[in-house]
């Protein structure tokens, strides 16, 4: 594959994530708008698998494992792309997913008291259990807001990084 064809494919994917990312960034986590997105379904699969993967470590870790797996999957891809493959554009796009995953957690955390969101399996609301267990349930909204903001910051940083890398690559290919 030629370098210019590879560049345009990667640039096209970046543009799609840029537009999709802006849409996600402007979603209101309190209304769980993000719960209706395509990538939420992907995150949910990793989240639920995390409960099973962390089950041998006890109840607390099994419940926390859902969120951990949801965040560890894109984080592991950041490391894989950056350190093993030396593909920094790929790493920036995986970082975008990590930011989105933080934002995806915010509505669930924010629901820790209301318990209105549907549960995929079981009858335990992860964040109600976790925050009650740690004695910090009263801070649920602040924690949710922090996840949302951290996710936005990570997504924006990833998009800036990816855009910068594409500019550098375009200069190398077309000049």
Q: Could you read off the pLDDT of 25-64 as tens digits, one per residue? A: 999 999 999 999 999 999 999 999 999 999 999 999 999 9
Query: Is residue 82 assigned to a domain?
Result: yes
% residues pLDDT > 90 (the chain) = 87
Helix axes 3-25, 88-110, angle to 10 degrees: 20
The number of folded domains in the chain is: 1
DSSP H helices, the chain, are 3-25, 38-54, 59-79, 88-110, 126-134, 140-174
Identify the domain containing residue 26 by its residue range: 3-31+72-174
Residue at 45 is within a domain? no
Task: Please state, in angstroms and rounded to a whole number, the distance separating the CA atoms of residues 48 and 98.
Answer: 17
pLDDT at residue number 1? 60
pTM to 2 decimal places: 0.93
Asked whether 53 and 65 are in contact (CB, 8 A), the reply is yes
Task: Tell me whether residue 84 is in a domain.
Answer: yes
Residue 7 lies in a domain: yes
Q: In angstroms, rounded to a whole number, what is the distance separating the alpha carbons of residues 45 and 58?
A: 21
Answer for the pair 105, 70: CB distance below 8 angstroms, yes or no.
Answer: yes
Residue 109's pLDDT band (cuts 50, 70, 90): very high
In a domain, 64, yes or no: no
Res 89 pLDDT > 80: yes
Q: Report residue 88 as tokens.
A: 């920094």
- pLDDT band of residue 149 (cuts 50, 70, 90) is very high
């Amino acid at each position: 594959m030629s370098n210019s064809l590879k560049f345009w494919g990667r640039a096209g994917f970046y543009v799609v994530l840029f537009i999709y990312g802006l849409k996600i960034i402007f979603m209101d986590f309190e209304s769980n708008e993000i719960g209706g997105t395509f990538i939420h379904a992907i995150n949910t699969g990793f989240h639920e698998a995390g409960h099973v993967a962390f089950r041998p470590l006890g109840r607390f870790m099994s419940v926390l494992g859902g969120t951990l797996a949801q965040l560890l999957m894109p984080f592991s891809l950041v490391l894989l792309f950056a350190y093993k493959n030396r593909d920094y554009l790929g790493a920036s796009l995986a970082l975008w997913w990590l930011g989105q995953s933080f934002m995806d957690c915010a509505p669930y955390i924010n629901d820790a008291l209301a318990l209105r969101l549907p549960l995929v399996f079981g009858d335990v609301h992860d964040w109600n259990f976790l925050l009650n267990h740690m004695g910090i349930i009263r801070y649920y909204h602040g924690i949710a807001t922090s996840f949302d903001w951290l996710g936005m910051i990570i997504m924006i940083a990833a998009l800036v990084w990816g855009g910068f890398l594409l500019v550098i690559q375009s200069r190398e290919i077309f000049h």
